Amino acid sequence: MKALVIIPAFNEGVKLEETARRIRESFSGRADSVAIDVMIVDDGSTDADIQRVSEKFHFFLIRNPEQKGVGYSIRRAYEYGCAKDYDILITMAGNNKDEPRELNRLMEPIVKDEADFVQGSRYLPGGNFGNMPAYRLLATRFLHPWIFSFISGKRITDSTNGFRAVRASVLRDRRLRLDPSWLDHYELEPYLFCQAIRMGYRVTEVPVSKVYPDKKLGYSKMRPFVDWWSILRPLFFLWFRSKK
């Protein structure tokens, strides 16, 4: 089997280089049945770090000519991965929040044919969420998972974590309809997760780490209210559509 690790990034600077370094270190001495490639998707960055990092660590690079959104970037990488016959597509943050040594943990249920979609959860026993701001803890541990679980019909502990693995055959399912432009930003990830459950794919969670960087480096590029609504909107869309 072969897997593609997808890193969407926009002006991540030193955080992206540290992410790349830790990924490369996690491959050192690795003997496994899954061959892993890494792709950075540049969402119209205005700095020169992404080109330099991709060349330094020999990662694939695709670039959006202008900032289009994280959902748009992930969709482009999914399309590439499916076209190149990768078996597993993994997404992880480019801002050094995720732990590359946990990649095998995400892939294992798919490799063993026990799951089609594996969601990383920082809230399962064995997971870690570091020094997360209190308001984000409230939203990501309680509010969003409760709404997500109610609408998807499956109890989920961490519905907003982008550190996840999906079998390529799931992404080839035309019923998903990942192409609408309204999924270009933060909507795509919860939409895909919820749809995978509702369409009957085998979905499981595994414990992972999500450690926030020093505050001076910035917690997130998410905008209050506007982007919070973006991760809730697809759930309400799916709920109301199913009631029609």
d(CA 84, CA 90): 14
CB 119 within 8 A of CB 158: yes
Phi and psi at residue 205, to the nearest 5°? -115, 150
What separation in angstroms does the CA of 202 have from each of 23, 50, 118, 173?
27, 35, 9, 14
Residue 121: the pLDDT is: 98
What separation in angstroms does the CA of 104 have from each of 36, 98, 154, 190, 202?
10, 13, 24, 22, 18
Residue (of 121, 123, 191, 184) closest to 152 by Cα position: 191
d(CA 67, CA 12): 13
d(CA 234, CA 243): 14
What is the CATH classification number for the domain harbouring 205? 3.90.550.10
Residue 135: the pLDDT is: 86
Q: How would you write the pLDDT of the chain (244 residues) with one tens digit per residue?
A: 999 999 999 999 899 999 999 999 998 766 678 999 999 999 999 988 899 999 999 999 999 999 999 999 999 999 999 999 999 999 999 999 999 999 999 999 999 999 999 999 999 999 999 888 888 899 999 999 999 999 999 999 999 999 999 999 999 999 999 999 999 999 999 999 999 999 999 999 999 999 876 655 555 666 665 777 889 999 999 998 765 4
pTM greater than the 0.95 cutoff: no
Query: In the chain, how many domains are there?
Result: 1
d(CA 103, CA 78): 17
Residue 115: the pLDDT is: 98
For residue 9, what are the domain limits?
2-243
